[in-house]
Structure 1
Amino acid sequence: MGGFPTRRLLLAAGAALAVASASSAQDRRMTAYKTPWCGCCDGWVAHMRAAGWTVQVVELEDLAPIRARHGVPDRYAGCHTAVVAGYAIEGHVPAADVERLLRTRPTAAALAAPGMPAGSPGMEAAGREPYVTVLIDRTGRATVFGRHNGA
């Protein structure tokens, strides 16, 4: 009978691990909205998938309503908008920045790499240039979140 409590503890630990694994897998899912004709968006999706994300792609001809619904002002627009855990991810944001955003959970609407910076994930063929990612609050104001040198 000495093994019974141990078995119960192992079963409880296994159940907790299963819940944690399901939660982790769920945290690594996002939806990316892009236009049908944008190849660099496909490059960004490939970057996110290579980093372990499950990305559902939805193609639309006009992304402005998606950006507006998720609090991304037009001045910070990129060529695609992803949504994960209540945040918009606008443009070619590196996976490491998305992961830091979800780890720190700041009060914000979005994380963006405005425009299409050369050297950002999906834009490697355009060369290299330093760029920033910005955290956009719910009033539309942005602050620098990350600094990058390009691929």
Structure 2
Amino acid sequence: MTKKSIIIDEKAHTELGKLSESLRMNLGSLVKEMIYYFKKTGIDPKDAANKNPSEMISTLDKRIVSFLKVQERDILKPLRQDVFNYQNSHKEEILKLINSINKLLNQHSERMNEIKKNDTDRNKLIAIELEKNRQAILAICLLLDEKNKSGTIDKLKSIFS
């Protein structure tokens, strides 16, 4: 590696010396690292408006936070509200469905009770009619065979008992 010389004024040389002492580097390696740093970051060293890199990061951080807040306001909050509204409408539909099912179950229960009542009433009427038929048959047998000579009345009584 060949060594090269650069011309700088006395004040810059003094500052460069202080900087090299504080960073514990010799002048050559400090200048080399400065060159690589400026090349890598793209910072223009003669631009007096250049800020401290931490200030630049802070500014960028504020921009990112601002961007995220705008995204939250414009996209996330409306989306959350839409989901909330959908959830509420879904709950209402489920409640309507539950009420309809309960109503149908109640109607079914009432109809089943009515059918059971009608069935019981019909069975009672049939039993009454059967008893009337039994009495009628016994009465006919008594008319035909008053003294029960043929044993028909006894046979009928044993059948009906």
TM-score, normalising length: structure 1: 0.27
Give the helix-richer structure, 1 or 2: 2
**Who wins on radius of gyration, i.e. which is larger?**
2
Higher strand residue share: 1
Which structure has more relative contact order (CA 8 Å, sep 6+)? It is: 1
TM-score between both structures, scaled by the size of structure 2: 0.26
